[in-house]
Amino acid sequence: MATEKRRKKYSDDDLEKALTAVRSGKTISNVSKTMGIPRTTLLYKYRGKLPIGKNVGPTPFLTKNEEAEVVKWIMHLSQRGFPIVKSQLINSVQLLIKNLARNTPFKHGRPGRHWYESFLKRHPEITSRISQNLCHSRASVTETAIRGWFTEVKQHLEQLNLIDIDKSRIFKCDESAFFLCPKGERVLVKKGDKAVYNFTQNDDKECLTVLFMTNANGQLPPPMIIFPYQRIPYSISQSIPDGWGVGKSDKGWMTAETFFEYITNIFHPWLLQNEIPRPVILYVDGHCSHLTMPLSQFCIQNGIELIALYPNATHLMQPLDVAFFRPLKAAWKKMVQEWRTKQSGKRLRKEDFGSLLDKSIQILNVPEIMVNGFRACGLFPFSADALQYNSLLMKQKINNTTNIQAFSKEEGQKYLNFFEQYIDAEVLKAFTKAKKKRIWDGELENKGLFNFWLSLQNLPSNFF
């Protein structure tokens, strides 16, 4: 590539030596060939058009200190299980430029591909790699991988002295959609009727997103309702229960801006009001795209330790999914049906949503539900043994595999030895070292080979 050829491979000291040689009588062409410095660069430096220490190319629009903060943010989140993707980096830099009120040639203040590539060149400690977990489906989640996550997170929490903190300091948040017209239940009708209709005045697909936060003690900080508006109507804002958050986005979905507003304006004040000791742990879904640099900095400054759950394992590790949302939506459906009966089939308005949802929550024993939920997900007490691994699709496939030839343990070891003799000694040594963590963090190209090698040792002998 042309850009590779033009990449700088010389220092300012080399330029000084080259210019000294030119001034002593040597030609620019000869010095260029001898020292590997482009002829045009030498010519510009010699004529004073481009002083030494100044490079050709676009000027960085963030200072060195500002870019250092961006790098620090990327490293911080990466260590906690949130690998930053290109769009998240650009979104955060766009917000930073906006907050600094700095003029740039970027369209809408949003950096493009060239800035991104230059940023990576300026910071070789940051590299672009394919995330190992984000693209896996739930079917690829294994017990080995989840136990590996528990091992790594336990080590991280022990380093921060957060492994044995009180359950009131352990939080989890998640959002879910609530239909304004929940699906109907079984009804009593005249025998022989072919079709049964429940007439409504709402779109059966109309829904609102609600963000919930809870801790392992069963406390429920105020939720946030997201509305699909540019500006929240006064009638709706006045109908929201006291203390609840109100967010807005074009499509009514959770965004980075609304998530930031919730953490800073709802969750953090609630922690202060309830005198919850800091730091606290906040578990967030591993695929969360709402973690901007300003949010990360706010959490660091206010003692909120963000931890990513293992990706695509929310059906096992997400307390709100496992224990809370199902009974809440059942209560919501019942509450809406009773409301419509009393209102003679009146249309459920968005102004009615908040109060009905609040009543639905009030009829639940939230503390008991959430204590059981955190325990079942292994988040409090922190234990990998608490999860129901028999629900994993991968394990079901292995357990249900038929027509597998039975071998003795000795014969199974022979197959393992046969396989290992074709693996490079250094690679095999790395495999053995990684076996303790049961997670491969080396070269991505060897990950599949490592998982297969690991499976040969973990499967029962009659699997070989």
Q: Give the model confidence (pLDDT) of 227-238 as tens digits.
A: 999 899 999 999
Residue 121 has pLDDT above 70, yes or no: yes
356/362 Cα distance (integer angstroms): 10
pTM: 0.64
Q: In what order do the strands lie in the sheet with 170-179?
A: 245-248, 224-227, 207-215, 170-179, 280-284, 304-308
Q: Which two tokens stand for residue 327?
A: 């009974």
Query: How is residue 139 annotated by DSSP?
Result: G
134's CB contacts (< 8 A; 6+ apart) are: 83, 286, 287, 311
Q: Which two tokens stand for residue 192?
A: 């022989």
> Is the separation of the CB atoms in 204 and 224 below 8 Å?
no
Residue 141, CA distances (Å) to 72, 98, 189, 311 in order: 30, 40, 45, 8
79's CB contacts (< 8 A; 6+ apart) are: 156
Q: Summarize the confidence of residues 367-374 as an average pLDDT.
A: 95
176/242 Cα distance (integer angstroms): 21
Element (H, E) at 150: helix 143-159
282/302 Cα distance (integer angstroms): 12
Element (H, E) at 308: strand 304-308
| pLDDT at residue 395, as a whole number | 46
| pLDDT at residue 372, as a whole number | 94
Residue 409 has pLDDT above 50, yes or no: yes
Residue 102 dihedral angles phi and psi, to the nearest 5°: -100, 135
> Is the separation of the CB atoms in 126 and 83 below 8 Å?
no
Nearest 10 degrees: Cα torsion 153, 159, 161, 166: 0
Q: Predicted confidence band at 135 (pLDDT cuts at 50, 70, 90)?
A: very low
| pLDDT at residue 113, as a whole number | 86
**Residue ranges of domains in the chain:** 2-47, 64-122, 138-182+204-386, 401-463
- With CA atoms as reference, report the closest residue to 445 among 152, 130, 136: 130
113, amino acid identity: R
CATH class of the domain comprising 2-47: mainly alpha
Query: How is residue 155 annotated by DSSP?
Result: H
Residue 164 has pLDDT above 80, yes or no: yes
Residue 272 has pLDDT above 50, yes or no: yes
340's CB contacts (< 8 A; 6+ apart) are: 200, 346, 348
> Is the separation of the CB atoms in 179 and 360 below 8 Å?
no
CATH architecture of 138-182+204-386: 2-Layer Sandwich (3.30)
Coil, helix or strand at residue 124 = coil
